[in-house]
């Protein structure tokens, strides 16, 4: 699976194929996508350095089709159309195109590919017999970048914005950028892993990351660029609207941030249920009212009586050992 014609997708696809085979052919042929090639002053296309490095590591000779000559990959394109038609038929037979996750979809995909390739095993054996063994290690399928965490607890990666835990504010983090995921490291430890955004100008904000900064400057909420991300459910949005209807803007923002802070530090679902209860009763959903409803039950600690330890038996045992020693 890949989400774009990127170098990360190309690297993952080539390596997954070769490491399943355990063998290496002579050539790797590609079209003139920007992942593998770039424009030359002569008007032709040259191979990118990163693509050449991948080919060199795997021991493959790179080659490409002519510019605008996609028919030179006609057999591959035809096979691709047949594969997509086969998968579409399997989805129709299954009655649904919904999967629990991308991992489940990819597992299903490999099952269908393996089934389709069973009839090709004799021909594949002929090819494998003349291929070289794959003797190199697998290259990482991510790029590593650094980013500074802003005072708003966010980082900027590939022209998209992500929130990170507030304890990292002001720190420089290392970000592993793969085709599908971002992994944020600090001090050699994984701090966060999220799905990667596509395109530019997007954002993925978790209110639990930014609330610690916002609660110190409530006046900024009205102008906060990602304010809609501060409403984890409709109940929170309705509570904010109810607060702004009863209080002045600054006070309403402060009360709401305290409620959100409570949700981040306790259980969001408990706070949500408290808000729904207050709104249904047409009561002001201020933070003190919410706290009273979500206050934990008093835990009764049982009194455990510890019996006194009788050590006389140990004294008798020691006395018997000493007597035996004297007799010896």
- Tens of pLDDT, residue by residue over 302-318, are 788 888 877 777 777 77
Residue entry with tokens 């923002």: 253
Whether residue 127 sits in one domain with residue 11: yes
- Report if residue 313 sits inside a domain: no
- Tens of pLDDT, residue by residue over 72-108, are 888 888 988 999 999 999 999 988 899 998 889 999 9
Whether residue 91 sits in one domain with residue 31: yes
Q: How far apart are CA 80 and CA 88, in angstroms?
A: 12
Contact between residue 149 and residue 155 where contact means Cβ atoms under 8 Å apart? yes
- Token output for 32: 């003139």
- pLDDT score of 298: 65
Q: How far apart are CA 238 and CA 231, in angstroms?
A: 9
Contact between residue 199 and residue 184 where contact means Cβ atoms under 8 Å apart? no
Whether residue 98 sits in one domain with residue 72: yes
- Report if residue 44 sits inside a domain: yes
Whether residue 118 sits in one domain with residue 40: yes
- Token output for 265: 């530090």
- Token output for 60: 């493959």
From residue 64, alpha-carbon distances to 32, 53, 223 in Å are 7, 16, 51
- Tens of pLDDT, residue by residue over 225-244, are 888 899 999 999 999 999 99
- pLDDT score of 296: 65
- Identify the domain containing residue 160 by its residue range: 142-204
Whether residue 269 sits in one domain with residue 159: no
Residue 29 is part of a domain; what is its CATH number?
3.30.420
Whether residue 176 sits in one domain with residue 82: no
- Tens of pLDDT, residue by residue over 286-300, are 999 999 998 766 667
- Report if residue 154 sits inside a domain: yes
Per-position b or e across 183-213, b if 16+ CB within 10 A of its CB? bbebeeeebbeeebbeeeeeebbbbbbbbbb
């Amino acid at each position: 699976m890949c989400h774009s014609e990127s170098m990360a997708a190309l690297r993952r696809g080539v390596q997954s194929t070769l490491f399943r085979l355990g063998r290496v052919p002579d050539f790797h042929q590609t079209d003139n996508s920007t992942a593998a090639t770039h424009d030359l002053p002569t008007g032709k296309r040259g191979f990118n350095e990163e693509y050449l490095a991948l080919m060199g590591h795997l021991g493959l000779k790179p080659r490409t089709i002519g510019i605008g000559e996609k028919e030179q990959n006609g057999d591959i394109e035809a096979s691709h159309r047949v594969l997509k038609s086969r998968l579409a038929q399997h989805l129709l037979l299954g009655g649904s195109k919904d999967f629990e996750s991308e991992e489940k979809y990819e597992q299903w995909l490999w099952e269908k590919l393996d089934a389709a390739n069973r009839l090709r095993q004799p021909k594949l054996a002929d090819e494998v017999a003349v291929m070289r063994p794959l003797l190199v290690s697998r290259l990482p399928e991510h790029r590593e970048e650094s980013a500074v965490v802003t005072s708003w607890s966010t980082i900027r990666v590939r022209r998209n914005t992500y929130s990170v835990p507030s304890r990292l504010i002001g720190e420089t983090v290392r970000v592993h950028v793969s085709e599908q995921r971002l992994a944020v490291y600090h001090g050699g430890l994984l701090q966060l892993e999220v799905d990667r955004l596509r395109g530019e100008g997007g954002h993925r904000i978790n209110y639990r990351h930014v609330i610690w900064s916002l609660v110190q400057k409530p006046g900024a909420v009205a102008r906060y660029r990602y304010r809609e991300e501060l409403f984890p459910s409709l109940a929170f949005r309705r509570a904010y609207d109810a607060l702004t209807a009863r209080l002045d803007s600054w006070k309403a923002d402060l009360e709401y941030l305290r409620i959100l802070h409570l949700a981040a530090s306790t259980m969001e679902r408990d706070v949500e249920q408290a808000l729904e209860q207050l709104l249904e009763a047409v009561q002001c959903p201020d933070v003190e009212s919410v706290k009273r409803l979500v206050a934990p039950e008093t835990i009764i600690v049982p009194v455990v009586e510890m019996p006194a330890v009788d050590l006389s038996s140990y004294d008798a045992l020691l006395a018997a050992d000493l007597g035996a020693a004297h007799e010896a």
